[in-house]
Amino acid sequence: MTTPVDVEVETASGREKLRLDVGRVYNLGFTIRDSAKMDRHMDEVEKIGIKRPHTDRPPIIFPISTWATVFGDEAQVQYRRTSGEVEIVTIDSGGELYVTVGSDHTDRKLETVSIPWSKQVAPNVVAPLLWRWEDVADHWNEVTMECWVVDGGERIRYQHAGVAEFWTPVEMRDSIRGRIAEDQGALVLFSGTVVTDDEKFRYCNEWTISLNDPVLNRRIVHTYTVVVLGDEIVDSPGVDDMSNLPDLTGNHG
């Protein structure tokens, strides 16, 4: 079963509408080429109590439900301690490859208990504007991505990186072949991310992510807001109280 999504594709002649029938979504990890930069990001997550993941065969693959993947401008979450991550998004639709920018919005408190669950309860946000891979492939290493947040009323750059720091979209798609079940719908892959500019997480209500192509002089820019659902309950005992969570790690002994 697939989930239909309407997006636009930017070309040299303008924008074209495209219907994607999304079949599967996966968050990838360990796709950064520089292991030292990867370690800096792992150090960053360990500071807030998240256990460092490990794999002998990169990338790590986290499956995400299609209902937890949004192409809109709102991310609904349960708790305040959530944050985004700017990432390359690769979309394979019937063999045609597209690229855009996304944010793996994550519940950081739940991430200390279970990484897959933390990614499932907060949405993966995808910009609804795409580029054809064939249009950027010859100068892909010139493309950059950024994330900006509004924190305390101040607009702050949160992350920035060149896409050349990661595997290419083709490499990411090829890396999971034979490792996932075949599906008839479009495949959406998130690349993983880089360390924040000041190496600390921010929990903000407004996030802007962008993919910047200096060669063709164009950008994909997408802003979304975070809605904390618990804040809408007048007599809520405290939307950050997760002390009574069950053991989701599988370690019951």
Q: Which domains does the chain have, with CATH numbers?
A: 8-232 (3.90.850.10)
Q: Given this model, what pLDDT does residue 251 score?
A: 42
Number of neighbouring beta carbons within 10 Å of residue 117: 14
Cα 31 from chain centroid (whole Å): 13
Separation of alpha carbons 8 and 30, rounded Å? 29
Separation of alpha carbons 78 and 164, rounded Å? 35
Which pair of structure tokens corresponds to residue 253? Answer: 């002994």
What are the pLDDT tens digits along the chain (253 aa)?
A: 899 999 999 998 999 999 999 999 999 999 988 766 666 666 666 776 767 666 778 899 999 999 999 999 999 999 899 999 999 999 999 999 999 999 999 999 999 898 889 999 999 999 999 999 999 999 999 999 999 999 999 999 999 999 999 999 999 999 999 999 888 899 999 999 999 999 889 999 999 999 999 999 999 999 999 999 988 887 765 555 555 555 444 443 3
**Beta carbons of 58 and 167 less than 8 angstroms apart:** no
Of all helices (H) and strands (E), which one includes residue 175? helix 169-175
Residue whose C-alpha is closest to residue 149's, from 93, 96, 103? 103
Separation of alpha carbons 90 and 237, rounded Å? 41
Q: Given this model, what pLDDT does residue 2 score?
A: 93
Q: Given this model, what pLDDT does residue 248 score?
A: 45
Gyration radius of the chain's alpha carbons: 18
Q: Given this model, what pLDDT does residue 235 score?
A: 75
Separation of alpha carbons 37 and 175, rounded Å? 20
Separation of alpha carbons 155 and 151, rounded Å? 6
